[in-house]
Structure 1
Amino acid sequence: MENARELVIIKTMYDFQETFEDIDKTKVRGILEKNLCDYVLVNQSTALMASDMKEKIIFFLRIKKLEGLANDTLESYYHTLNEFSKHIIKPAAQINTNDIRTYLYTIQSENDIKKTTVNTKIIILKSFFKCLLEEELIKKNPMLKIKTMKVDKRSLRTALTIEELEKLRNACKDIREKAIVEFYYSTGCRLSEPLPIEISDINWNECSLIVVGKGSKEREVFFSKKCKLYLEEYFKTRKGDSQHLFCGIKKPYAALSDSGIQKIVKKIAKRTDIKKNIHPHILRHTFATLALQSGMSESAIQELLGHTNIDTTKIYAKISKSNLQYEYNKTMIA
């Protein structure tokens, strides 16, 4: 069945991305489609209720694909909705608000996941059931009364101190790791923004490049002289002929994905004694916080980070004050 075949491809792509540091997703998808085209795949589950949700999920993902969502986003949607369907064994039309509240309470209490993770699941479920309602596949949207959890925005802006940043830099073992850490710190880019960039897109004279941020808005970002040296050495010494900014170390030397960058940063962080949760986005927070401490204006940081609202940038000013106090206390021995 075509639905089952597409489900296998999406699930396999997700599993590959979670397991391997870097893959050429276009080639892998092509190989899967080629090898599965002559086979009829049937889900072992024959329960009417289970198959109803699987079909609805595939229907939803196809619509989102036609809307232009990236494969990474589709795979994330699949993972969230597939997990949801395993908890609530009902036809989509019979799922009610209480079912969803019970599900959200269960996953948060049993797995102790963050509020931000729960909110991501809520947003995906809202999109899913809204789509089913608009397509007249269900008569009532069970997500209408479900609200995202309140989150202290300041808690989302954890930054590294100067000392912690140096520890992370010193933990890098090769030139690729050094280039990745320095690039994300010195540009303040979001995780996925530089991934489509090719070497020819870099303005070496100005140490800058154009990235596409949220809302498909272009902006110019800059990188440090230290980052320039690391990038130049990395491009000269790496294997393969990939033109992407960061790529794998094994054939076919494909461009690194979001998860590939995340795994590298996590690997570097494990070599340190930093207690904070280290991820690529914390380098963006660190850039903003340290830039404020150094006297850069909020409006300039807003422009560099691609914030639509200056209030988002102002959050860093509050964090910067606490970090300044930490640095002051550390310096003033007596």
Structure 2
Amino acid sequence: MPTDDFKGLFSDYLTHERQYSPETIKAYMADLENFQAFMKDAGIDQLDQVAYRDIRIYLGNLQRDGLSRKSISRHLSSLRSAYNLLLDRELVSENPFNYVKTAKTGLKLPDFFYESEIQSLFDSVQGNDPIALRNRALLEFLYGTGARVSEVRDLAINQVDLTADMVLLRGKGNKDRYVPIGSFCHDALVDYLENGRSQLMAKGHFDDTEHAFVFVNYKGEQLTSQGIAYILDQIVKKSATTLSIHPHKLRHSFATHLLNNGADIRTVQELLGHASLSTTQIYTHLSKEKLRDNYLQFHPHAKQKKERPKD
């Protein structure tokens, strides 16, 4: 099968059968296009002409280009999925990617804020103008619900129940879950929705019925993922912390702080929308302070030295 003919088939498969998020589909399609470019350079016209040695050369090229093990593993996963589809449709006789082992990436602990650092972020978001109200609500929502950036970006007003203090989040593969809204997040959302959002919508000449997205930019348009990341970056620049920030770091902080304060891991799994408990277990690491406190408290040789009795 020609490579160009397969692109549409693979895209439809990821969208309708696997129901992947737009970000995941974009990444998988980019990996496929990258491999197709390699095939063209190598003089391979048909997808069923790819052999194991071709894949090894391709992976070597990725390594020379400076891609991390994690990125290379993602490429392999994308292309293995593509060839599984070809195999299922009987367009190839075997999947050559099944013979390639995925490189071990090692355990990378999630990057998170300590509770004092979170407070520093919130302290930097002051003011009652529409932008300040939106930024406060956005920060409270990300940290207070552990939502993914795509879930926040696409959040509609009818998904937020401020009477019951619950929000309906639409996750990967259109899987829905309910997450409670805490008092800080509740107050920030009420303030923003009553005193900020309408003014931002008006600046873009929108009325409140034009669209239902909760978080909008200064022109009343739906915030993009890049826009959310930019807002968080500006918040950090105004805060006392010099650490980097990204939306997922707040999600990591949400999970870490829940577990550090005694939450059940199954509850955290449900709140995060993880299909597998093993995905959530990476958050069971202890914060550095708690790690040190536990060490000093329980290790016999870490406790304060007692004076040895003199002869």
Query: TM-score band (shorter)?
Result: 0.7 to 0.9
**Do 1:187 and 1:221's aligned partners in 2 also have CA atoms closer than 8 Å?**
yes
Inter-partner Cα distance in structure 1 for 2:28 and 2:177? 28
Q: Which position in structure 1 is the counterpart of 2:246?
A: 279
Give the 3 Å change call, closer, same or farther, for CA 303–74 of structure 1 in structure 2. Answer: closer
Give structure 1 regions of 4+ aligned residues with deviation exceeding 6 angstroms: 326-329
Q: 1:221 to 1:104 in 2, by over 3 A?
A: same
Which residues in structure 2 correspond to 1:210-225 (within 5 Å)?
A: 210-214=168-172, 216-225=174-183
Partner of residue 37 from structure 2, selected from 86, 90, 104: 86
Deviations 1:48-90 (A, max 9, x none): xxx9433322332244444355544433332222222223322
Name the residue aligned to 1:191: 149
Q: Which residue of 2 aligns with 1:226?
A: 184
Confirm or deny: 8 A CA contact 2:87 2:94 kept in the other structure: yes
For the 8 Å contact 1:161–1:323, the answer to whether it is kept is no
TM-score, normalised to structure 2, is: 0.73
Equivalent residue for 1:245? Answer: 214
**How far apart, CA to CA, are the structure 2 residues paired with 1:70 and 1:280?**
17
Report the alpha carbon displacement of residue 95 of structure 1 after superposing the two structures with TM.
2.1
Q: 1:59 is matched with which residue?
A: 9
Q: State the Cα distance separating 1:187 from its structure 2 match.
A: 0.7
User: Structure 2 regions of 5+ residues with no counterpart?
Assistant: 126-130, 202-207, 296-311
- Deviation track 1:252-298 (CA, whole Å, cap 9, x = no partner) reads x1x3344443444345446665445x321111111121122223333
Report if the CA contact (8 A) 1:202-1:208 is conserved.
yes
Helix, strand or coil at the partner of 1:256:
coil
Give, in whole Å, the separation in 1 of the partners of 2:261 and 2:291. Answer: 14
Relative to structure 1, is the Cα distance of residues 203 and 248 closer, same or farther in structure 2, using a 3 angstrom cutoff? Answer: same
1:306 paired with 2:256, answer no
Alpha-carbon contact 1:164-1:274 (below 8 Å) kept: no
Deviations 1:218-263 (A, max 9, x none): 3321233222232223223232233212233336x1x334444344
Question: Does residue 1:143 correspond to 2:97, yes or no?
Answer: yes
Secondary structure, aligned partner of 2:84: helix
Judge conservation of contact 1:157–1:319 (CA < 8 Å) in 2. no
Q: Out of 112, 116, 126, which is 1:159 matched to?
A: 112
AA matched with 1:138: V
Secondary structure, counterpart of 1:60 in structure 2 = helix
Say how many residue pairs are matched. 274
Note the alpha carbon deviations across 1:2-38, whole angstroms, 9 max, x for none: xxxxxxxxxxxxxxxxxxxxxxxxxxxxxxxxxxxxx
Aligned mates of 1:326, 1:163 — CA distance in 2: 17
- Give the share of equivalent positions with the same residue, in percent: 29
In the alignment, structure 1 segments of 5+ residues that lack a partner are: 1-50, 330-334
Residue 315 of structure 1 aligns with which residue?
Answer: 282
Which of 96, 99, 103 is the matching residue for 2:54? 99
C-alpha root-mean-square deviation of aligned residues, in Å? 3.3
CA–CA distance in 2 between the matches of 1:327 and 1:203?
40
Correspondences of 1:6-155 after superposition (within 5 Å) = 52-67=2-17, 68-69=19-20, 71-89=22-40, 90-91=44-45, 92-111=47-66, 113-153=67-107, 155=108
| Change beyond 3 A, Cα 1:117–1:258 | farther
Query: SS of 2:167's equivalent?
Result: strand
